[in-house]
Structures are given as structure tokens and as C-alpha cells.
Amino acid sequence: MQDRPVAFITGCSTGIGFETALLLAREGYRVFATMRDLKKANPLKEAAKGLDLEILPLDVDKPASVKSAVTAAVKKAGRIDVLVNNAGWGAFGALEEFSDGEIRAQYETNLFGLVRVTRQVLPVMRGQKSGRILNIGSLAGRMTFAGIGLYCSSKYAVEALTESLRLELRPFNIKVAVIEPGTIRTPFKANRRKARLFQEGRSAYQKTLERILYFGNHPSSSAPGPEKVAVAVLKALRARRMAVRYPVGRDAVWFPLLRWFMPDFLFDWVLERRYAGFQREGA
Amino acid sequence: MRGPQIALVTGANSGLGLACSKALAEKGARVYAAYRNPRKAGPLWELTRALPVFPLLMDVNRAPSVERGVRQLLRREGRIDVLLNNAGFVMAGFWEDLSDKDLKDQFETNVFGLLRVARAVLPSMRKQGSGKILNMGSVAAFAAPPGLGPYSATKFAVNSITEALRMEARPWGVEVAEVNPGEIHTSVVQNTRMGEGVFSARSPYSPFTRQFEKLAKERFEKAAPVEKLVQVVLKALGHSPMKRRYLVRPDDYAIYYLRWLLPDALWEWGLGRMFPWSWPTE
Ligand SMILES: NC(=O)c1ccc[n+]([C@@H]2O[C@H](COP(=O)([O-])OP(=O)(O)OC[C@H]3O[C@@H](n4cnc5c(N)ncnc54)[C@H](OP(=O)(O)O)[C@@H]3O)[C@@H](O)[C@H]2O)c1
Ligand SMILES: NC(=O)c1ccc[n+]([C@@H]2O[C@H](COP(=O)([O-])OP(=O)(O)OC[C@H]3O[C@@H](n4cnc5c(N)ncnc54)[C@H](OP(=O)(O)O)[C@@H]3O)[C@@H](O)[C@H]2O)c1
């Protein structure tokens, strides 16, 4: 009936997912914007009035939910041309102090959930012999920052996923890339989940973490908004030859470059001593 | 220094862990060699006859097992100077052919398990104001080939974990580093697991899987002997401070530096050329 390309996006209640869903709808995509809590759907519904955008429930942590959302979209649209794997959140705390449960929860969404959605969509794209998958990775997938080591490790894994999946899907004409935003003005930081030990004030790294949290939360007024990430998504979708990665924001371009030409010891010194400033506390 | 070094090696009943346990003990360390399966611990018991090697039952997948093992060790020795975080395995298969469980099993051991042991050991190291943690990475931390994506993803993650722990622990006098070997003769191939869907007739990747197996076999025919890695591990542990990363064979340096030098597109083209099905040359 329609020949609009169909896009399927996770984590659209706020931030990057929200803006990407809107932009793609404005640019003529038929958009399935998914979110795990439909009570948060109103702002997007309002913003998308008159656009071809439909909201579906999807919690990437839950296999049944993934299955039913993808099935529903395919039933309605007959195809999926674009998958944007955006749902994710950030754990905050010292790597030493996360519990097993906290560690698994971070990976459940940022990696296992992402793979789960991808695995559900792939047969559809293979059937079409076309499709594009964009993973929202992060600058934190290229280098590790203090206080968010666990989050970084999950995003490093997304880099490996993207690189290998690209080659695995090349014979099926399915293209994969990773978008790497630096700091972006979204509720992401407010939504961070802090390690319990830190929250209770019992961390061995308490003061350092508090300082990182404080500074980390403030200077971001100059950071780009989520629209900028949406634009990068669109750019990747329109590229004839989609690159492996798309950094978004000045920090996302500069940090990896600095790392690239700085010797390890110098970079360590900058990142660990100057930036992280972990100290021996207590005693 | 006071007395012999106390070392904990995980996955010590086989391959790299076994060889490193032996070498560390020969250098005079008291080595707590962790294994999870008594039926496979034979080679370890062999070592205990002549060397200060003490087998320790520990499954890195299970928190109580890790905590109990570390507690036992600390009760006997009062300290841990070296942790060689080595236990791991390969889950091979194309992403789509792996079940949720396959993927989680891979991470449970290679990432969460590695982290679990580090977490159990760190408080005592910080208290004593010294210690070295050496994580077993792989060249798969720089290159993510098709068919080996999930394993690479675990080693990419370990890369980040090493970096984060390094920052956190340094002020306490605890050093963290990583070794990134390429193919080495161990039981890693026999112990490789395949994703659930890999051998299903319905897998769209089955022709590729066969090519992948052939390539893996070829590469392992040129694998280095374990002694190569043992030397590097001893060198790393001898450094103070340890560098962030230690490479092993000339091939591994080549992979590391090519990755560093080449733009993404060229790197991918090169990697793709090794896997003809993903890069058909028309
Ligand atoms: N903001 C940054 O600085 C930044 C930088 C680099 C990368 N990123 C990445 O960008 C992505 C989006 O983040 P954002 O900045 O837009 O933050 P955000 O505003 O907090 O949005 C995160 C979205 O993910 C959803 N989500 C979380 N867990 C989910 C689950 N289990 N199932 C389904 N949806 C889930 C959230 O839903 P709820 O509203 O229900 O929680 C929300 O819609 C994340 O992957 C993040 O890692 C962000
Ligand atoms: N050999 C290579 O070419 C190569 C290259 C790069 C990196 N590596 C890394 O080197 C490490 C050691 O591998 P290897 O080559 O020596 O292979 P291996 O001979 O298969 O030894 C792996 C060891 O890890 C143990 N292990 C696995 N899962 C465990 C668990 N849940 N709890 C406790 N122990 C567990 C195994 O115990 P069981 O015997 O009971 O299974 C075995 O002792 C791995 O991390 C691997 O990724 C190897």
C-alpha cells in the first residue's frame, strides 16, 4: 500500500530515541517508535501529530516483549528497513563495587537486549535482502571514563558486535554501523543508576565518585542536544556506503583522536591523574 | 621483600593457566591454582608434587564459589600479591545463531567471572597497599571477525574493564594490566562451544560456518607454544609499574598496529578478505 521505508526504534520515551523517531517520521519513514512504559508516550504522541508514527510497547530486557513488538510491526508494515538500537542506560560507580545483579542488569539492556531485538529483526531483513541496523554506541565504547567503567565495558562490547555483524551480514545486503555520541543533553545522566554501595555512602571510592558525579553533571549545558544524534542517524541511513562509525559531538571526535596519537603512558596520565583523579580514601 | 609472592591463577588446570602456574611456582611464588572440575584437575595435582602449587576449587561463574576460594586463600596466607585472571572459553558462531543463553554463558565466564574474581581480591590488595592483576585478553580485543563476534565482544569488554580498574586501583598501589595473545597451543579449541543454531540445517550461515571452521583450523596450525605467553606474563609481572598492555607474538603486534594505523574502511576490507564469504570479490 505504501512504499515508505519502515523504521523500528527502541527506547523512544525521551532523548535520542525520541528525537530520532520524530526526525525519521518527518523525513518520510513509517516509524514504529517503541518504549517500555506506555505511560510515557504522550509527549511523543503530541509531537508526532500528523506524522506516520506508531508507538508500540517494548522492553528489550524481556524476550516475549521483543518478540511481540517486532511481530506486530511486521504484521502491520510487512517489512522493516531500518532498526535503530537505542534503548540503554548508564550504571555509575566503581567497577570493584557493583554487585553481580547490577552488572547483569547493565548488560541485560545495553548488550543482550540489543542483540535480542536484532536477532528478532534479522530474518525479516534477510528475507528482504536489505536493511540497515544502527546501534547507538557511545564515545564510552571507544575509551573508558572514571566512574562509568561498567557502562563503558558494555559499550565496548557494542563496538565488537557492530564490527563483526557488519561482516556477517554483508552477503545479505544488510548494513550495520555504530553511532558514537559524546555527551548529549538528554535525561541520560539523570537516569543513571548508582551502585548501591555508593548510594548508601559506603563506597571505598566515595569522595572521588561524588566529585566525578558533580562535575560530570554540570558542564554539559554546552553539549549538543539529541537532535544532533538523530541527524547523524539520518546521515548514516542516506550514505551510499555506510561507514563503520559515526561520532557525534566534538568530544566524540577529539578524544579518540587524542588517544590515537598519544603514547599510552601519556594518555593514562591525562585520563587517570588529571581527569579521573582517583585517590586513596579513608585509612 | 617479605617471603614468597602469593599468586592466584584462575582456569589453572589447563592451557595458559596451567603453564603460568607452573612458571610462577618455579620462580618461587606460592601459587593457588583455581580449577572448577575435579575430574580435569589431574595435571594440577601432578604439579603439586614438586612445586608450591595449591589447587583451589573455584568456578568463576558462581559467586559463593569465588568468595569461598578467596577466603580460604586469605585465611592461609593473609595476602594476595598476584591475580592472573585467566579462566575463559570461546563461544563460536554467528550472532544470529546464538541463543540468549549462549550469549549470557559467554559473558558470565569471560566478563562477569573475571570481574567477580577481581572484585573478591581487590579489597585485600587495597588494604595491603600493593598487588598486581593481570587480565587475560586476546587479539580478539582489537579485531572482531565474523563467527567470533560474541567472544570478541567479551574481550573488548575486558579491555575496558582493565582500563577502569587501572584508574581505580592505582592510588592504592594496586596495578592492573592486560595480556593480548593470539593463537596459542592449549585446549581452547577442544573447549570451544558452538552457538545453539550453528549446526541447524536452517541456519542461513551454515556454508560460512564451514569456511570459518577451516580457517580457524589453519590459524591454529600456526599457533605459538605456551612458553611464549609464559615469558610475557613473567615479564609483565616483573614490571613496576606494569604497562597497560602486553602483546605476545609478532603477528599480534602486527594486528595491534595495523588496527591503530589503518582507517576503518581499510581495516575492514583487510579483515573481510580473510573471510571470503563476507567479502566476495566479483
Ligand atoms: N546522553 C548521552 O550523553 C549519551 C551519550 C552516548 C550514548 N548514549 C546512548 O544513547 C542511548 C539513548 O540514551 P539517551 O541519551 O536518549 O538517554 P535517555 O533519555 O535516558 O533514554 C534512554 C531510553 O532507553 C530506554 N530504556 C532503558 N532501558 C530500557 C529497556 N530495558 N527496554 C526498553 N527501553 C529502555 C528508556 O526508557 P525509560 O524512559 O522507560 O527509562 C529511554 O527511552 C543509550 O543507549 C545511551 O547509552 C547517550
Ligand atoms: N589459546 C589461545 O589461543 C588464546 C588466545 C587468546 C586468549 N586466550 C585466553 O586465554 C585464557 C585461557 O585459555 P586457554 O587457551 O588456556 O584455554 P583452555 O586450555 O581451554 O583453558 C581454559 C581454562 O579456563 C577454565 N574455565 C573455563 N570456564 C571456567 C569457569 N566458569 N570457572 C573456572 N574456570 C573456568 C577451564 O576450566 P575447564 O578445564 O574446567 O573447562 C580451563 O582451565 C582464556 O581467557 C582465553 O580466552 C587464549
- What ipTM was estimated for this complex? 0.97
Name the closest-CA residue to atom 38, ligand 1.
A13
Q: Tell me the per-residue pLDDT of B125-173, one tens digit each, with 9 for 90 and over.
A: 999 999 999 999 999 999 999 999 999 999 999 999 999 999 999 999 9
Total Cβ atoms within 10 A of residue A76: 12
Q: Is the pLDDT of residue B1 over 70?
A: no
Cβ of B116 within 8 Å of Cβ of A150? The answer is no
* Spatial distance between the Cα atoms of B197 and A59, rounded to a whole number of angstroms: 24
Beta bridge partners of B53: B31
The burial class, CB within 10 Å (0-12 / 13-18 / 19+), for B50 is exposed
Would you list the DSSP string of A48-114? Answer: TTTSSEEEEE--TT-HHHHHHHHHHHHHHHS---EEEE-----EES-GGG--HHHHHHHHIIIIIIH
Beta bridge partners of A175: A132
For residue B224, give the ligand nearest its CA. Answer: 2
| Ligand 1 and A86: CB distance under 6 A | yes
A264 touches chain B (CB under 8 A): yes
Beta bridge partners of A76: none
B47-56: average pLDDT: 96
For chain B positions 38-97, those within 8 Å of chain A (CB to CB) are 63, 94-96
Name the closest-CA residue to atom 47, ligand 2.
B88
Cβ of B149 within 8 Å of Cβ of A171? The answer is no
Cβ of B95 within 8 Å of Cβ of A205? The answer is no
A37 touches chain B (CB under 8 A): no
Please give the pLDDT value at position A242. 97
Q: Is the pLDDT of residue B281 over 70?
A: no
The structural domains of chain B, ordered by start, are 6-252 (3.40.50.720)
Please give the pLDDT value at position B209. 85
Grid coordinates given for A126: 534477510
Q: Tell me the per-residue pLDDT of B10-49, one tens digit each, with 9 for 90 and over.
A: 999 999 999 999 999 999 999 999 999 999 999 999 999 9
Q: Tell me the per-residue pLDDT of B175-206, one tens digit each, with 9 for 90 and over.
A: 999 999 999 999 999 999 999 999 888 899 98
Please give the pLDDT value at position A276. 64
Q: Which amino acid is at A40?
A: K
Q: Divide the 283 residues of chain A into consecutive groups of 10 and give the mean pLDDT of each group.
A: 86 98 98 98 98 98 98 98 98 97 98 98 97 98 93 98 97 97 94 97 94 70 92 98 96 88 78 70 66
Q: Give the orientation angle of helix B15-26 with respect to helix B226-238, to 10 degrees.
A: 50
A66 touches chain B (CB under 8 A): no
How many CA atoms does the CB half-sphere of A24 hold within 13 Å? Answer: 34
For chain B positions 251-270, those within 8 Å of chain A (CB to CB) are 260, 264-265, 268
Name the closest-CA residue to atom 36, ligand 1.
A11
Ligand 1 centroid from CA A193, angstroms: 12
Beta bridge partners of A176: A133
A150: Cβ–Cβ under 8 A, 6 or more apart, which residues?
A91, A93, A95, A98, A102, A103, A106, B164
**Position of cell 563483526?**
A164
Query: Which residue of B159, B168, B178, B273 is the best one to mutate when testing the A interface, meaning the one whose CB has the most A CBs within 10 A?
Result: B168
A168 touches chain B (CB under 8 A): yes
Please give the pLDDT value at position B2. 65
B79-93: average pLDDT: 97
Higher model confidence: residue B211 or residue B116?
B116
Please give the pLDDT value at position B201. 86
Please give the pLDDT value at position B214. 87
| Ligand 1 and A120: CB distance under 6 A | no
Total Cβ atoms within 10 A of residue A232: 23
N- to C-terminal Cα separation, chain A: 71
Total Cβ atoms within 10 A of residue A65: 19
**Which residues of A fall within a CB distance of 8 Å from B157?**
153-154, 156-157, 160
Q: Phi and psi dihedrals of B89, rounded to 5?
A: -150, 170
Q: What is the pTM of this model?
A: 0.97
Give the distance from residue B254's alpha carbon to the nearest chain A alpha carbon, in angstroms.
16
